[in-house]
Structure 1
Amino acid sequence: MHLSFPDVLLIIAVAANGLLAGLFFSFACAITPALRRVDDRSYVQAFRAINAAILNGWFLLIFCAAPLSAIAVAVLPLGNRHAATLPWLIAGAVCSVATFGVTAAANVPLNRALDRAPTSMETHYRVARERFENRWNRWNLIRTLTSSGALTLFAIAATRHSPA
């Protein structure tokens, strides 16, 4: 089986957006509900540790590959099946870019604010958490939906792209 460059890009788009959707879904369904059960100091310390740990090469590679491959696969022709897949590819690219945008414009600034928040007194932990938790969770839910949408749309495009 010979895979064309656009085929490879579509596979990358499916995989990268799927990995992000899984990560954000894990936060929405397990990590943030678990952290709701801990005291303010533990919450801030745990989230700061998560923020530091996630900034690694593997995450950044996938985080950048998702929208870049999404845009590329939406603009490159896929041969005679391009017309059947184009709406799905464009919608998937929009979702993928939205995921990137939400993360960069909302979640990352909230992470940085939490990291900079004063914590020299016990009440500081409560204030830091109150300024962070609900807003971050709301934006994470949005990017969970957009990344899941990207994954779904690219998977549909892949099935329409496959030879009959």
Structure 2
Amino acid sequence: MDTARLVSLIAAVITTGWMSGLFYGFSVSVMPGLKRSGDRTVIETMQRINVAILNGWFLLGYLGALLFTGLALGLHVPSEGRDLLPPLIGAFVTYALAMAVTARVNIPLNNALEQAGPPDRLDDASAAAVRQAFEGRWVRANAWRAVLCTAALGFLAWALILR
């Protein structure tokens, strides 16, 4: 049982770290780089990213972070490792909040961007409107995801230290 607790905690750290890094990377490089690009470039690039990111590695990190954190939490409840419960609960809650931001803001914006169609078929005004409806809200929500995932990772590091 002790091995399962440790392995689930390490898996939670790794997958949460992946997600924290992904959202941080978008916040500090991808979106600032795209901000300097034209409307059609932003639309096309984000449409392509939104398709490419739906792969097994992303899903392992995105779903795995919640599942492994929940597993680590569940395995520590009936054990002598109850002092790990506060940081594990903190990690689970903050990561779940990041997922809620994704579901309520980023995914609907990604879907609306896809609904706009190919950017080369948009006139200048339409492309500008699509970008304006997408970019600012998506960037702010992604920053929240980065902060929440980083907090979850910090909680998990705290749990590892306590262990």
Match of 1:138 in 2: 140
Task: Give the secondary-structure state (helix, strand or coil) at the position aligned to 2:36.
Answer: coil
1:77 maps to 2:79:
no
For the aligned residue pairs, the C-alpha RMSD in angstroms reads 1.5
Which one-letter code corresponds to 2:128 in the other structure? R
Give unpaired runs (5+ residues) of structure 2: none
Which one-letter code corresponds to 2:28 in the other structure? C
TM-score after normalising by structure 2: 0.92
Give unpaired runs (5+ residues) of structure 1: none
Cα deviations by residue, 1:112-138 (Å, 9 ceiling, x for unpaired):
101101543222111110000000001
Match of 1:29 in 2: 28
TM-score after normalising by structure 1: 0.92
**CA deviation after TM superposition for structure 1 residue 77, in Å:** 2.1
**CA deviation after TM superposition for structure 1 residue 10, in Å:** 0.3
Cα deviations by residue, 1:141-160 (Å, 9 ceiling, x for unpaired):
11101100111100110110
Task: Give the secondary-structure state (helix, strand or coil) at the position aligned to 2:129.
Answer: helix
**CA deviation after TM superposition for structure 1 residue 5, in Å:** 0.7
What is the alpha-carbon distance in structure 1 between the residues aligned to residue 83 and residue 6 of structure 2? 15
Tell me the number of residue pairs that the alignment of Structure 1 and Structure 2 aligns: 159
Give percent identity, aligned residues only: 35
Match of 1:39 in 2: 38
Cα deviations by residue, 1:55-104 (Å, 9 ceiling, x for unpaired):
11110121110111112211222732x22211011001101111112112
